[in-house]
Structure 1
Amino acid sequence: MSELPRKAVARTARLAALPLGYAGRSAIGLGKRMGGKPAEAVMTELQARTAEQLFRTLGELKGGAMKLGQALSIFESALPENVAAPYRDQLTKLQDSAPPMPTITVRQILKDELGAEAGRLTDLDAEPAAAASIGQVHRARWDGEDVAVKVQYPGAGDALRSDLRQLARVAKTLGPIFPGVDVKPLIAELQARTEEELDYRLEAEAQSVFAAAYDGDPHIVVPRVLAGNEKVLVTSWMESPASLAQVIREGTPDERNHYGELFARFLFGAPARTGLLHADPHPGNFRLLPTKDGSPGKLGVLDYGAVARLPERTLPPSLGHSLRLACEDDYDALVTQFRAEGFIREGIRMDADKLRSYLAPLVEPGRVEEFTFSRAWIQEQFRRLNDPKGDAYATMLRLNLPPSYLLIHRTWVGAGGVLSQLGATVPLRQILLETLPGFGS
């Protein structure tokens, strides 16, 4: 058997072992409970061991497996505390890092991909500065300038596609690991975006647009693109001690509010400035750039592989108009608007009061001058929307999400998850008034 099939078989076996491992530990846990050990203690131990195996496996596999883990990590704050607590450390670790690729492999890829231009690259650090789902980043110098060199893992494309196919097959069995999270649609969306993220030329094109739009911005920093092709991307180096994941773990209230506001301003404001939506809001992509005295400073933004190219070169004005109607409590008009936009399909009946019951808590951050996001708030929304006996659940099932809103929806939900992890108090209404077409008029 060749090396590539061997690796594929090994990867598939490790992915398939995740639900089996959970089942095995559950059986052992049952035995311990029958032996007199308290059920709560057994469940805590079971979840902690499951978290360790799950995220160690996802991190080692990189590819689609790690990408799924990063996507799930955004929604960690929505899980009930007794479920989320054992997972939190493993989740936040996965947001920032993964086991590195050997330096000798990196050097060979750079030589093969850059050809004659490889000579412009010097002083490549042996250890990666960051490692993500399909590539890792090394610090180096390009024509004497400090740069970040992003290198795609060998066979990353085939591995990513294979992982996502396998994860799609075992999606249902991952349910007990993340109760209440519908993993299958998440995997389907990751599959749909695979090809774009594998081509660093598209990422370079998007990042160049963002860099030009935010050149000289007092709050946001986007590294310049210097060179690149399908599998290698060279950008200016951005000195940063940590990411938003550190603020989530140990940030002060001032840091949480400061960086939370910058995070929100970038995600909601960038479409009007660039015609693009940064659609990968996990904390590892947002870097802290503190001032010289150590106080909170600018926010650096990385990773432009997942980007929505907006047809109107901004977020749809109808989205802002719909949100404004909800904030103004005009749900009769919102039902009409939703029908026109395809959120309510033809022939589906929708009661305005039930739509209000479903949406009002979700749009509250846009109704008030300042809103404090929290784990408790998002957990309550998660519980409410996933209660089959509740009105919100029934209303949600009657709504449709037009395909053009898929990435916008995922990004906004992800942003809410990150802000809730941060526990940030944010003037979201003012941000929307300044940046979202249709919201202010």
Structure 2
Amino acid sequence: MKKIDSIPTSKMDRVAKLVTTGVKVGGNYLKYYGEKVVNPGLTKDKLHEENATDIYDGLKELKGSALKVAQMLSMEKNLLPQSYVEKFSLSQFSVPPLSAPLVRKTFKNYFNEYPEDLFDEFSPNSINAASIGQVHKAKKGGKNLAVKIQYPGIRESISSDIAMVKPIAIRMFNLQGTSDEYFQEVENKLTEETDYKLELAQSESIRIDCEPIEKLLFPKYYPQWSSDNIITMDWMEGIHLSEYCATETNQKKRNIVGQTLWNFYMFQIHQLKKFHADPHPGNFLVDAEDNLIAIDFGCMKEIPESFYTPYFEISAPETLQNVNLFNAKLYELEILKESDTPQEIAYFTNLFHELLSVFTKPIHQANFDFSDQSFSNEIAQLSEKFSNDKTLRKMNGNRGSKHFIYVNRTFFGLYSLLFDLKAKISINDFQKYLK
């Protein structure tokens, strides 16, 4: 894989790269429509494939929050054409790494020492690279270690990246009025992900809190070999969850991993009220004993009680069956507003009732089979319906608490992983860990 010797960090350089990518995508559309004149039956498959490649190639050079967007979109299997999902999935744990000289220089800037001076052994070639940083294998005092090094300039580029994306998102989602709190929420989380001292503290806290959960492992972290931009932890033997899903044929083992994953998230959400908000395959390993290994706690989301209570109350069967109670919870969650017109109230009440009636099916049962294709199809059909809904496009999309962004993202990501595992889950099993 080609290695990167530099990353665009200035706003001008990053805008230039996005403009170049946009020109390529525009060219793909022109070529497609030209070919369609000659061949009216031409599908958009090739167009999607070429656009996905060009967009991903541009984002992977920018890294940081730009590539993080691709990573988040790769989990939205029902919202994007398959070619985008496949290409953007590479951002989860396999992107072009920094070259060895740049790694050495970056490490020295962060730690005031070269890696070979700090560790007994240090591999200059990364084991895997993602959106914020890349991981190298090292050894110290006989311990095998994983050393995560943050890409240079990533933290400084977040605000300008968000500023570039904001006007596009406002137009796409029709965010009328103030939507600053949504963008601030995303920017805050991205900034937290670049604070490796915070990530180290969060990782240790989660490791201790979740220790009772069976079949769940965490690496140990080493503050003495870590800094604001470097994290050193135990090297954990295992394969990424996506590889496990592709190679493990024993459904009983897949169920065990799926149950551990479910228990891990439900325990965090309902006991800790703070959870790992980045559920994609690159953040989980599975070892030879089918233990789930959780890594990378840069993105953690805390749920205030004022959101937690109505969020789970609105999805309860008795609420879904009570029009007045359901309507009251919509106001509590800021989905409906006092300024809404009768048309908006009726439309969004129906929309969220339909959405929640499908999305909450797993938690309303004692056991749920995520290999059930009908459930996945229902979600896909809803996604397609809403994406083609012309009325929705005209409605003010600026609604709902800012906490929805990462809470919903986490549930969508968790469901996606469980779909991949085709796991059969005991929904309330996590309750045995609650205090």
- With the shorter chain as reference, the TM-score category is 0.7 to 0.9
Q: In structure 2, what is the equivalent of residue 74 of structure 1? A: 75
Structure 1 pair 94/302, CA: closer, same or farther in 2 (3 Å)?
A: same
Alpha-carbon shift at residue 206 of structure 1 (Å): 0.5
Secondary structure at the aligned position of 1:265 is classed as helix
Q: Partner residue of 1:52? A: 53
Q: 1:253 to 1:54 in 2, by over 3 A?
A: farther
Query: Is 1:131 the equivalent of 2:129?
Result: yes
**Match of 2:157?**
159
The structural deviation recorded for 1:343 is: 4.2
Distance 2:91 2:244 in 1: 15
Aligned ranges for residues 232-381 of structure 1 at < 5 Å? 232-241=230-239, 243-247=240-244, 249=246, 252=249, 254=251, 256-291=254-289, 297-311=290-304, 316-325=308-317, 329-346=321-338, 348=340, 350=345, 356-368=353-365, 369-372=367-370, 374=373, 375-381=376-382
CA–CA distance in structure 2, aligned partners of residues 355 and 157 of structure 1: 36
Question: Is contact 2:267–2:431 with CA below 8 Å preserved after alignment?
Answer: no
Tell me the SS of whatever aligns to 1:316: helix
Q: Letter of the 2:210 partner, please give it.
A: Y
Tell me the CA shift for residue 74 of structure 1: 1.0
User: 1:48: Cα distance to partner?
Assistant: 1.2
CA RMSD of aligned residues (A): 3.7
Does the alignment pair 1:61 with 2:100?
A: no
Give the whole-Å Cα distance in 1 for the aligned partners of 2:388 and 2:433: 34
Matched AA of 1:202: L
1:33 is matched with: 36
CA contact (8 A) 2:194 2:229 kept: yes
Residues 148 and 423 of structure 1, relative CA distance in 2, 3 Å threshold: closer
Instruction: Write out per-residue CA displacement over residues 264-295 of structure 1, whole angstroms, 9 at most, x where no aligned residue.
Output: 2222222445452111112211112232xxxx
Residue in structure 2 matched with residue 294 of structure 1 by the alignment: none
Change (3 A) 1:238 1:274: farther
Q: Given the superposition, is the C-alpha separation of residues 22 and 436 from structure 1 closer, same or farther in structure 2, using an over 3 Å criterion?
A: farther
SS in 2 for 1:370: strand
* Structure 1 length-normalised TM: 0.80
Quick one: percent identity of the two aligned structures? 22
Structure 1 letter corresponding to 2:219: P
For the structure 1 residues 8 and 190, does the alpha-carbon distance in structure 2 shift closer, same or farther, using more than 3 Å as the test?
A: same
Superposed, 1:384-395 pairs within 5 Å as 384-388=385-389
- Does residue 90 of structure 2 align to residue 93 of structure 1? yes
Q: What is the Cα deviation at residue 205 of structure 1? A: 0.9
Within 1, Cα distance between the matches of 2:434 and 2:310? 10
- Conserved 8 A contact 1:68-1:187: no
What is the aligned counterpart of 1:148 among 140, 146, 149? 146
Letter in 2 for 1:190: V
Farther off after superposition, 408-417 or 186-195 = 186-195
Cα distance in 2, alignment partners of residues 155 and 399 from structure 1: 31
1:339/1:345 contact within 8 Å kept: yes
Structure 2 equivalent of residue 206 of structure 1: 202
Q: Which runs of 5+ in 2 are unaligned?
A: 1-5
* TM value normalised by structure 2: 0.81
User: What letter corresponds to residue 201 of structure 1 in structure 2?
Assistant: K
Name the CA shift for 1:273/1:333 in 2 (closer, same or farther; >3 Å). Answer: closer
Query: Using the alignment, how far apart are the partners of 2:260 and 2:125 within structure 1?
Result: 30
Structure 1 residue 116, shift from structure 2 partner: 7.2
Paired with 1:302 and 1:89, the residues of 2 have a C-alpha distance of 23
2: distance between equivalents of 1:172 and 1:26? 23
Closer/same/farther in 2, CA of residues 237 and 217 from structure 1, 3 Å limit? farther
Instruction: Verify the 8 A CA contact 1:196 1:202 in the aligned structure 2.
Output: yes
Any idea what SS the aligned residue of 1:403 has?
Answer: coil
Structure 1 unmatched runs, 5+: 292-296
How many residues get paired? 413
Tell me which moved more, 55-64 or 321-330: 321-330
